[in-house]
Chains A and B, each alone.
Chain A
């Protein structure tokens, strides 16, 4: 089977990539500023809602119900879409999905397509596959355009160019669009408007993703801000929508939950500027040919795992990225995947489906397990639990290593109170290595820890010893 393009070929393991990213002070500054801004605004948008927790619970339950009835609901969606003049295609993996989309483009004699930002098409590396087949894909979302023109890789689910600041964006636009532009965000947005206008008005085929698909009506929903989505969904003659099989909701009513959860979690708005909903084909309005491509690409394998499957509840809001202390420092590209951050750390390895892949197996360790991601997740994905679950899988796949031996020793030590106490006493001897209360260099295997950070010196006596002496 072909490798899953959800991870980028040749990416180093997370610790190696993170090490390099941590040295990039510009990147850290850009990320601190952007995530800091959005964190505050999200908290304010959520605080307005007195029923936020009830919405989260409902969001979780609706998505769990979707996963439990996925086969029935997909067949229902297919029937509804077909009844309204759409054509539904099924793809087992990325290669099959890409071939379907390329064939559809060729059937329309298209050499160019306009694209709405879509995680599903990024996951299957559709642009590269189309390019190889002689079809040029034009990204129309501002951040996607910045990434595409900068020959760069995405680093965030919502804002793939979050690692770029305004002056870097200005430089990319001047170089690739051949225009003079200031670094004012409004001027940069205007430059993108002018650059893409002609494309919107003349391109015959558009490719989109989907935020939601409603099984009982066949309606597809796309949330966006700029109007590039509306352009792509309205003006071309043919629309091809690529969607992961888990993006369903059972009924139209269920949208009332997600249309409240997603904008506030994602862009910290009460509602995003534009949401488009279409059902098959509407005579006289919008594309007259509509294709829906449903992709598996590792999702059914993820569904098998009773702990890991909750990752499929994800609605791609990116709130977990914005609150993650690890993401803020390493940036998204260190994860080597279109899905970075906490959700990426649990989703990517599951979609790859091979814990013998050292890069994928390193991702569940890209976390301090602080739990901030779970707290903000609008569909209550318990990311820390899935992380530890996947770590166990990674360890199992790896077999016996220095780390697993150390962990086994720790388990043996923690299992008995007297052994634990003896170990603590031994540990306090490490004080002799400390200077100014910090240990900067431990002998192996402790050196694995101290090569990138200090350890506070252990106290003279353990809490247990102190307690026995004073209170016992």
Chain B
């Protein structure tokens, strides 16, 4: 008897679907971009947005809290008065933290999205998931205008997380409500 794999592949060949014409990509590949549009779009989804020039100064808001800082976070971000939690961290420790501070890989102005890829200052995915508060630092040069521009900047085989606003649901009467399982507060610092 043929394996499921062979049988399915044979059924597909037997269907004799004719070749499709080449894809016409007539859509826009670039967006206007910019800090202003990104800030406006992030705020649309009830994330808190600040445009700042000095990161350590802006991080004063974390004083008195227990904050996760992933590997690769710049030394100058680790301001005094904050209990910094560093890897290795258990699930329980992450669950008990007040928040997490990260950078990002790419951001998308058009949709107000930040993208994490597990690289420098972002850490593994659980770090930005379990704490109830996520503070993300985005450099102006990391902001891509459109979805196509942003995807072209990513490394697809890294574990990617696209974040557009805090955790939300539309499951009750199709109205958006913020705050389910992911961080209920998302704060974005845009550095110019």
Residues of A within 8 A of B (CB): 30, 33-35, 37-38, 50-51, 54-55, 57-58, 61-62, 64-65, 67-71, 74-75, 84, 90-92, 96, 140-143, 146, 158-159, 161-162, 165-166, 169, 185-186, 188-190, 192-193, 196-197, 200-201, 214, 217-219, 225-228, 230-231, 233-235, 245, 252-253, 255-257, 259-260, 267, 269-280, 282, 284-286, 294, 296, 300-301, 303-304, 309
Contact = CB atoms under 8 A, between A and B. Distances in A.
Contact of A227 (B11, B148, B181): B181
Contacts of B83: none
A159 B170 contact: yes
Contacts of B28: 50-51, 54
Given A142-B172, A192-B180, A228-B181, A270 B110 contact: yes
A303 B18 CA distance: 11
Nearest to B173: A34
Interface residues of B, number: 73
Interface string B23-58: 111111100000000000100110000000000000
B16 to A, nearest CB: 8
Interface string B154-174: 001111111111111111111
B86 interface: no
B172 to A, nearest CB: 4
B44 to A, nearest CB: 8
Given A271-B108, A271-B111, 16 more contacts: A37-B175, A58-B23, A71-B12, A92-B4, A96-B4, A189-B179, A217-B156, A230-B125, A234-B125, A259-B147, A271-B164, A273-B163, A274-B161, A277-B159, A284-B124, A286-B159
A256 B160 contact: no
Interface in B105-123: 108, 110-113, 118
B129 A234 contact: yes
B147 A256 contact: yes
Contacts of A58: 23-27
B20 A61 contact: yes
A274 B176 CA distance: 14
Nearest to B129: A230
Contacts of B125: 230, 233-234, 276, 285-286
Nearest to A66: B20
B14 interface: yes
B95 A201 contact: yes
Q: Rank and list the top 3 A-B pairs by shortest CB-CB distance, nearest first.
A: A227-B182, A300-B11, A227-B181
B63 interface: no
A104 to B, nearest CB: 15
A44 to B, nearest CB: 12
Nearest to A235: B126
Given A65-B23, A231-B129, A285-B118, A226 B180 contact: yes
Nearest to A80: B157
Given A159-B174, A285-B124, A275 B151 contact: no
B166 A273 contact: yes
Contact of B152 (A65, A219, A253, A304): A253
B129 A201 contact: no
Contacts of B183: 227
Contact of B174 (A162, A245, A304): A162
Nearest to A201: B91
Contact of A200 (B118, B152, B174, B181): B181
A228 B180 contact: yes
Interface string B121-162: 000111001000000000000000001100110001111111
A38 B174 contact: yes
A303 B11 CA distance: 9
B20 A294 contact: no
B132 to A, nearest CB: 10
A309 to B, nearest CB: 7
B89 interface: no
